[in-house]
Amino acid sequence: ISRSDLDGSGVDTLVGGFPLTQLPTTVRVAEEFIYWATRDLCLTRTGCTPEPGTIQRSNLDGTNIVTVIDNLIFPQDVVITSDYIYWTDQNAGKIQRSNLDGTDATDIITGLTTPVGLSVITAPVPIPAALWLFASGLLGLVGMARRKA
């Protein structure tokens, strides 16, 4: 996992040393950590025993690498929110979630066929201004009708 200047110069490897059979898939930066999923390339070949996939994180400078979640089959599509980590596990056919420290992992959706791509929207949906205007106008009409009566 590397970073560089916007023009591509100044390439700096933050996290390296992955085994040749382990592939970091999704990399996400959230708050003060870099999160990534690793999966074993053995799943794409026959005749080998795959290692479990993981979701790991490190500080922004690549230090203090921690395995947050382990024993996944084929993790991918990691999304970080202010409270949770969400990910797809392709071979398990699941979308899962845990706390940011990896505790309380739970299945959100199961029984999927090769889930790919994940987006999580956590912001509240705003009520359009037109609805507020309509409601205030309606209240005004009710007030006027009561005054006449």
Global pTM value: 0.71
Q: What are phi and psi of 64, to 5 degrees?
A: 60, 60
DSSP string over 22-38: EEEEEEEEETTEEEEEE
Confidence of residue 2 (pLDDT cuts 50, 70, 90): confident
Query: Residue 19: in which H helix or E strand, if any?
Result: none
- pLDDT given for residue 105 in this prediction: 93
DSSP string over 43-88: GGSSSSPPPPEEEEEEETTS-S-EEEEEEESSEEEEEE-SSEEEEE
Confidence of residue 97 (pLDDT cuts 50, 70, 90): very high
Top mean-pLDDT range of 14-18, 22-26, 112-116: 112-116
